[in-house]
């Protein structure tokens, strides 16, 4: 009974994925990011000159480093969309994508500290924020290194021997990803509305990561229909736990966010190494 709607959603998802990953769309994303960065610099300069009337000028800061934040926000936006399209292919691949997003968020935080420095020649000003910058930057660097190691050591193999079960499981993950696209679009629209209404916006990436935690748990539970192996269940549950750590890192204060991110990547690295090198002997 559910086969037809699942097949329809899966087919719709495939069309969206094909469009998103097309070469033309990748070029468009690059163009939008560059244009957004340059346009932000231009708006900031015009606002400094006083040519933008109120209340519009209230939405534009007079710090050039805000343009870097805009560029990173656009990159993160597109990375989150890309994460949705990775989810049905691989549980580990989706988690790696989440680590990539966290590393970019930490780098964005590092750049944001420049806004508070002002005069770079003033050593006293630099000392107030330099530790925050270094914490976020080196946290991102360690996560970046962990991602590369995980990609090197992980070994992919079929989740189930049955071809029909494998295809059906992938379809169910596509349904979850399609729902995430709808939620993602809704959150983006609401956040933009709040921003232009002058109200306090909710934290978009933190909210979306919360949704990811529940979707990961759901996929772990659904996977039990197709593979009852304790080893596979532990590995998938461990990945879901890493997602929870990433969600906590997004709301944690400076220093703690990097520590939690590093703990999450180390946990994932050890889990991946053990699963890739020893699980075959036990199955």
- pLDDT (tens, 9 = 90+) of the chain, 283 residues, equals 567 788 888 899 999 999 999 999 999 999 999 999 999 999 888 888 877 777 667 767 777 778 888 888 888 889 988 999 998 888 888 999 999 999 999 998 888 877 766 555 555 556 667 888 899 999 999 999 999 999 999 877 666 667 787 888 888 899 999 999 999 888 888 887 776 676 655 577 788 888 888 998 898 888 888 877 888 889 989 999 999 999 899 889 989 999 999 999 999 999 999 998 875 554 4
pLDDT at residue 178, rounded to an integer: 92
pLDDT at residue 256, rounded to an integer: 95
Q: How many helices (H) and strands (E) does the chain have?
A: 10, 0
Q: Which residues have C-beta within 8 Å of that of residue 187, sequence separation ≥ 6? A: 204, 207, 208
Maximal CA-CA distance, the chain: 70
Domain boundaries, the chain: 3-282
170 phi/psi in degrees, rounded to 5? -65, -40
**How far does the chain reach from its first CA to its final CA, in angstroms?**
34
Three-state DSSP state, 247: helix
pLDDT at residue 264, rounded to an integer: 97
* Nearest one of 131, 143, 67 to 105, comparing CA atoms: 143
Structure token digits, residue 36: 């957004």
């Amino acid at each position: 009974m559910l086969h037809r709607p699942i097949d329809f959603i899966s087919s719709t998802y495939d069309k969206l994925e094909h469009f998103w990953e097309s070469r033309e769309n990748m070029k468009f994303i690059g163009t939008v990011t560059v244009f957004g960065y340059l346009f932000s610099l231009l708006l900031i300069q015009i606002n400094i000159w006083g040519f933008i009337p109120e209340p519009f000028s209230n939405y534009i800061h007079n710090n050039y480093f805000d343009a870097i934040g805009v560029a990173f926000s656009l990159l993160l936006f597109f990375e989150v969309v890309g994460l949705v399209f990775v989810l049905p292919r691989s549980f580990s691949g989706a988690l790696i994508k989440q680590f990539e997003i966290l590393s970019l968020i930490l780098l964005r935080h590092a750049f944001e500290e420049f806004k508070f420095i002002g005069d770079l020649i003033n050593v006293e000003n630099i000392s107030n924020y330099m530790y925050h910058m270094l914490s976020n930057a080196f946290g991102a660097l360690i996560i970046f290194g962990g991602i590369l190691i995980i990609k090197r050591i992980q070994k992919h193999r079929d989740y189930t021997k049955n071809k029909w079960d494998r295809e059906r499981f992938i379809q169910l993950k596509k349904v979850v990803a399609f729902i995430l696209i709808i939620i993602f679009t809704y959150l983006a629209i609401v956040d933009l509305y709040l921003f232009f209404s002058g109200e306090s916006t909710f934290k978009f990436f933190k909210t979306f990561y919360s949704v990811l935690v529940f979707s990961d748990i759901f996929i772990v539970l659904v996977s039990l229909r197709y593979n009852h192996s304790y080893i596979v269940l532990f590995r998938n549950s461990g990945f879901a736990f890493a997602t929870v750590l990433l969600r906590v890192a997004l709301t944690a204060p400076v220093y703690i966010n990097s520590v939690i991110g590093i703990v999450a990547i180390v946990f994932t690295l050890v889990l991946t190494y053990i699963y890739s090198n020893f699980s075959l002997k036990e199955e």
